[in-house]
Structure 1
Amino acid sequence: MDQQAYAIGVKGQKWGGAEKAQWFNAQKIKRSYQEEVVSKILGLKDRFELAQYGSLSYDVERYPLFAVKSLNWDMSKPTILVTGGVHGYETSGVQGAIRFIETQAADYAKHFNIVVAPCISPWGYETINRWNPNAVDPNRSFYQDSPAEESAALMTLLAGLGAEVFAHIDLHETTDTDNSEFRPALAARDAVEHTNWNIPDGFYLVGDTINPQDAFQTAMIKSVEQVTHIAPADESGKLIGVELAQFGVINYATKALGLCAGVTDAKYVTTTEVYPDSPLADDENCILAQVAAITGGLDYLLTL
């Protein structure tokens, strides 16, 4: 595959403002954040606390940012953070976060304070995009003076919680469009070459290189195995070019890369990766896999 084969820009030259504007003007609304996400969140108001922690400047009415919190916070309980939709196009991350709240969160709230931000990038959700309108990846932007307002808003929310996060589960997908659209766009924007184009067929996790917490990751993999298949390593014994830490698990430097999973100092962190384009999966299966990852992780924490 020609990593630079992309319709915008000149090969070998990084994008400037004109190229980013051309990219933005090519984006189209493809689904409704209000109908598919906000309406479900508002439907939870009788059982959970809903907090609007901001709105995106691109359209403040269209893109309010919501977090859902368990009731009756108790500072003696550990606090759990679940995030979805950092990459708006990764649908099961958003819908899996909502499904967890709808079906499981109340039971776990007996033991934990729970805060869920189901859709961090609603413009990305509507346009099915990895980036925000400024061609910035929110999942590489969780650091001070972030260039992504989606990331900055979440950091402001977390700073105001008044509690340290004990565990953070960030819900993602790996899709075929990573190869057909998003990696070529990234290569063109930054004038770089990508050497790995493998997309794992199945679910996997990304832990933190510095703080991997192997048993935590194992528990989630075992839980998800009951719902969907775990991605096997490729012919090099890797997933997306990274050596396996254990079956179905690789590790990234979450803070150094500005990833959402590194946004807190939580002891237990992971990023889920569901593969919705697998012939062995469907939309519902992917949502259930996300929920199983969360519950598997929380069940492990309850044994500590």
Structure 2
Amino acid sequence: MNNSSTYHIGKAETPWGSEEKAQWLAETTIKRSYLEQVVTKIDALKDKFDITQYGALSYAPEKYPLFSIKTRNWDENKPTVLVTGGIHGYETSGVHGALAFMALEADNYSSDFNILMAPCVSPWGYETINRWNPNAVDPNRSFVPNSPAEESAALMQLVQDQKTSFLAHIDLHETTDTDESEFRPALAARDGKEYIEDSVPDGFYVVGDTENPQDGFQTAIIDEVRHVTHIAPPDDNGNIIGEPITQEGVINYPLKALGLCASVTDAAYTSTTEVYPDSPRVTEEECNMAQVAAIKGALDYLKQHAK
């Protein structure tokens, strides 16, 4: 067992103050370009879809505009689905899998669904390959009133501005080796808590809602993804990331209580995907296509079961 004293910033059992947060921010560096790698792909879709800038991050608005992508010919008689990626910017396939779905598959579903996508909610996190925003706040714990993360607040406003109900929300994520080597130890140190080491599951899994698990919906996603990549087995205690599995590759979290992104729409069907990009059994392209498969599995299920 390790504790928070093993992290190089802060003191054990003492939450970070402004000095520690400033030290953490000073150690972050830009490692890739959001404008070059993500916005160019969004721009390439403008002939097929409606692209809207729904905000910009205040600490660098020119570098970090926020974009949504919508299928055309919206019809109030069709159900509406939200797809989000890059809530945690370091989770690369969440961003590029979302964009790949729009480029390759969205046309096949636009007659049945209105699709709204926010492909990269945290562009600073994308560039620095980071879980938090510059204020050491996790956007995926910040979907709450008066959100402390402007990334989350902007997405909440985007959803509200649609003035419609959502049938489903698929939120695209990854679980990486750095979750255990960096991000969870940093979280424990930031909050002055003990860090208890866990294992990183080797494979794909999803997170449903404890209050509304929709087991068949999760099964459909898992079964579609297994054509692309392997499904994560549970650990020796029957858990994935500390939570008991409810079926193969599925765990549940209380989405609303934790302020998670998948609670933002109050949709009847929600799933948070988790790709494992560090497995020697997968390529970057397979990780992206696993996210595409997850969205397809979800939408195919809804076509049959959510009339």
- Aligned residue number for residue 60 of structure 2: 59
Bigger mean CA offset, 30-39 vs 195-204: 195-204
* Matching residue of 1:73: 74
C-alpha distance in 2 between matches for 1:242 and 1:151 = 25
Give the equivalent residue in structure 1 for 2:187.
186
Q: 1: distance between equivalents of 2:184 and 2:274?
A: 16
- Correspondence 1:165-184 to 2 at 5 A: 165-184=166-185
Compute the TM-score of the two structures, normalised by the length of structure 2.
0.98
Distance 1:234 1:90 in 2: 23
Distance in 1 (alpha carbons) for counterparts of 2:169 and 2:33: 27
| Stretches of 4+ aligned residues off by more than 3 angstroms | none
SS at match of 2:258: coil
1:138-165: CA deviations, max 9, x gaps?
A: 0000011000000000000000002111
CA RMSD across the alignment = 0.7
Q: Give the alignment of 1:1-20 within 5 angstroms.
A: 1-4=1-4, 5-20=6-21
C-alpha distance in structure 2 between counterparts of 1:196 and 1:288, whole Å:
30
Query: How far apart are the structure 1 equivalents of 2:139 and 2:179?
Result: 16
TM-score of the superposition, structure 1-length normalised?
0.99
- Secondary structure in 2 matching 1:303: helix
Whichever residue aligns with residue 11 of structure 1, its letter is: A
Cα distance in 2 for residues equivalent to 1:16 and 1:198: 29
Q: Matched residues in 1 for 2:144 and 2:75: separation? A: 28
| Other structure's SS at 1:143 match | coil
Question: Are the counterparts in 1 of residues 171 and 273 from structure 2 also a CA contact under 8 Å?
Answer: yes
Q: Does the CA-based 8 Å contact 2:84-2:121 persist in structure 1? A: yes
State the Cα distance separating 1:3 from its structure 2 match.
Answer: 3.0
- Partner Cα distance (1:274, 1:227) in 2: 11
Contact in 1 for aligned 2:78/2:114 (Cα 8 Å): yes
Identify unmatched segments of 5+ residues in structure 2. none
**How many residues matched?**
304
Per-residue deviation, residues 210-268 of structure 1 (Å, max 9, x unmatched): 00000000000000000000000100011011111111000000000000011111000
Question: In structure 2, what is the Cα distance between the partners aligned to 1:17 and 1:270?
Answer: 35
Distance 1:33 1:301 in 2: 32
> Is the CA contact (8 Å cut-off) linking 1:233 and 1:244 kept in structure 2?
yes
Identity of aligned residues (%): 63
Q: Tell me how far 1:194 sits from its aligned partner.
A: 3.3
Report the equivalent of 1:138.
139
Instruction: Please say if residues 3 and 183 of structure 1, whose CA atoms lie closer than 8 Å, have aligned partners that are also in contact.
Output: no
Question: Are 1:281 and 2:287 matched, yes or no?
Answer: no
Which residue identity lines up with residue 2 of structure 1 in the other structure?
Answer: N
Q: Which has the larger displacement, 132-141 or 178-187?
A: 178-187
Task: Measure, in 2, the Cα distance between the counterparts of 1:144 and 1:291.
Answer: 31
Equivalent residue, structure 2, for 1:200: 201
1:23 matched to 2:24? The reply is yes
**1:71, distance to aligned residue in structure 2 (A):** 0.4
- Deviation of the 1:196 alpha carbon: 4.5
Counterparts in 2 of 1:34 and 1:251: CA distance versus 1, 3 Å: same
Match of 2:234 in 1: 233
Residue ranges of structure 1 left out of the alignment (5+ in a row):
none
Distance 1:258 1:294 in 2: 22
Partner of 2:47: 46
Paired position in structure 1 for 2:264: 263
How far off its partner does 1:7 sit? 1.2
Q: Secondary structure at the match of 2:207?
A: strand
